[in-house]
Amino acid sequence: MMAGTRQVFAALLLALLVVGTALTASAPAATNHGDGGEIHRAAEPIAGQYVVTLQGVAPSHVPATAAGLARANGGTVLMTFQYGMSEAQALALSRNPQVASVWEDGVIHADLTQSPATWGLDRVDQRDLPLNNAYNYDVTASNVHAYIIDTGIRTTHTDFGGRASVGVDEIGDGQNGQDCNGHGTHVAGTVGGSTYGIAKAVSLVAVRVLNCQGSGSYSQVINGVDWVTSNAIKPAVANMSLGGGLYSPLNTAVTNSTNAGITYAVAAGNSGANACNYSPSSTPSVLTVAATDSSDTKASWSNYGSCVDLFAPGVSVTSDYGSSNTATAVLSGTSMASPHVAGTAALYLSSNPGATAAQVASAITGNATTNHISNPGTGTPNLLDYTGGGGGGGGGGGGATVPDAPSLSGSPATGKGVQLSWTTPSNGGSAITGYNVYRAQSSGGPWSLRTTLGVVNSFKDSSTTRGATYYYRVSAVNAAGEGSASNTVGVRAR
């Protein structure tokens, strides 16, 4: 993890408009107007709403900068970090040197599939089948907080025993963090319900970013992640059983949150496709979780690929539900798999409260059951969540380690910006899955995540001001987590 990385609220400005022209879901990934302006497209855009990433702005200056940009571009500030503007105004804003990128806001969904049958927590506490109809544990994570970034939690459910509370509600429909869908309560129950949970004494905190229909906007989810980054009581784990199309601002927000010391478990998605093509499942610093059934076979609809870290039970999972204080439901989806791993992380943090997110991830993948999954999918690690050993997820020992630091070089780019290149470091025994590029205004930081990349060895930063000097670091990521940062290079932008 990168020490000193600033939380994403220091770099994100959410630009929301109440009216605007609708854009089709088939819009291109980005529209470049040839004059330096560019708007990145969302798969399911919300008309007239934009997520704007700032650069070179200190955290304390973000609100004032937002207001100034709104005035300069004809927008009106609606609430903190949000203001209204048309697409033309958003395009003009994208040309401002204080703006790194402008993305359409878009719709994001809970990763859920309904199913009629049931099975319990039985699988994750034993290496092999058949199941023994018991779940054994030696810690309960009473010193850990679990943040459920979802549809809210029915905090009065009897299975939570008064341990559930509301952190924040980004939807603003009067529900005040309470679950009117059921999905978030089900997820919370798997993380920490006294009957259906992995970590049976963890403190559960609702971070409501999805509405009663199980949908929300990227900006609402980013706000929720930012809230966790700023307010989490550590040791802390967060679960995101939701997803949408590949969306860099969301990945950046989550990466900054893991850099702040919060472990994330994320659903791989239910499209039967490569998880690297979705957010937040493509974020390198999280534990991305695919789903298995009770025969240790990958669920047919589960996403797969190199961005997946491990599998967990996700077919016909019984847990608490939001329709009453005693309700339960049987649901399927990677939404159900992810909270198993979040609970495992809580158990590990209970015994290792000072562990970083990378150390937690390394412990869980290193302790996972190997080579038991049938048809895991191309490029997918054949690892199954396991809570035994070392207080849950955590005996570790013998697993892969994070990559070494790359060697970084940089120069003024041809045309405009800064060109970076780096060597491929030793991978620590697990294939490198991507790189994180960090940028600062001075050699000593503070550092902000500039972008997350796949397996490449170069990056051109065009979001620069001619003549300004920028400082960069790069780190490599594998299944064990994020490695050490490279050397720092300073480059004067062309």
DSSP 274: B
Q: Decide: 491 and 465 in contact? Cβ < 8 Å.
A: no
Catalytic residue among 40, 109, 157, 183: 183
- Known active-site residue 293: no
Q: How is 396-450 classified by DSSP, letter by letter? A: --SS-----PPPEEEEEPSSSSEEEEEPPPP-TTS---EEEEEEESSTT--BEEE
Cis before 249? omega within 30: no
Active-site residue, 145 included: no
Could you count the other beta carbons within 10 Å of the beta carbon of residue 229?
Answer: 24
CA 411 to each of CA 146, 246, 274, 405: distance values in angstroms, whole numbers, following the listed order? 43, 29, 34, 20
Tell me the β-bridge partners of 32: 38
Radius of gyration for the alpha carbons in the chain, expressed in angstroms and rounded: 22
**Among candidate residues 428, 387, 444, 345, the one with its CA nearest the CA of residue 122:** 387
Contact predicate 337/243, CB 8 Å: no
Residue 183: active-site member? yes
Nearest 10 degrees: Cα torsion 347, 367, 262, 339: -60
Find tokens 């490599």 and name the residue. 476
Q: What are residue 321's phi and psi, to 5 degrees?
A: -140, 165
Could you give the angle at the alpha carbon of 130 between the alpha carbons of 126 and 131, nearest 5°?
55
* Angstrom distance (rounded) from CA 242 to CA 239: 9
CB-based contact 478:400 (threshold 8 Å)? yes
Q: Token digits for 453?
A: 């990349």
126 CB-contact burial (10 Å; exposed 0-12 / middle 13-18 / buried 19+): middle
Continuous H helices in 86-164:
87-94
Question: Any residues with CB less than 8 A from the CB of 24 and at least 6 apart, and which?
Answer: none
Q: Which of 335, 350, 362, 475 is catalytic?
A: 335
Q: Do residues 51 and 105 make contact, with C-beta atoms less than 8 angstroms apart? A: yes
| Residues forming the active site | 150, 183, 335
